């Protein structure tokens, strides 16, 4: 999974801690998401996208092979 979270966060001047607080997760969860080491639930992805004023598919980009697995 590729994510644009860091880029979109920077545009909105949000820290990892700011975003974590807004979506009710730990900052470490945001770190793992930004590194592509964790796939969010649909609910969490929607919350993050809303806070970043973006669509889920613009924040999280999945490789076709990942979708098949």
E-only strand ranges, 1-69: 2-3, 60-61
Report domain 2-68's class: mainly alpha
Note the pLDDT of residue 51.
98
Contacts of 13 (CB under 8 A, 6+ apart): none
At 12-64, the pLDDT tens digits run 999 999 999 999 999 999 999 999 999 999 999 999 999 999 999 999 987 76
């Amino acid at each position: 999974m590729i994510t644009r979270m860091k880029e979109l966060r920077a545009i909105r001047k949000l820290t990892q801690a700011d975003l974590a607080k807004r979506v009710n997760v730990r900052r470490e969860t945001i770190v793992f998401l930004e590194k592509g080491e964790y796939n969010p639930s649909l609910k969490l992805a929607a919350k993050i996208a809303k806070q970043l004023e973006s669509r889920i598919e613009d924040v999280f980009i999945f490789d076709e092979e990942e979708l098949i697995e």
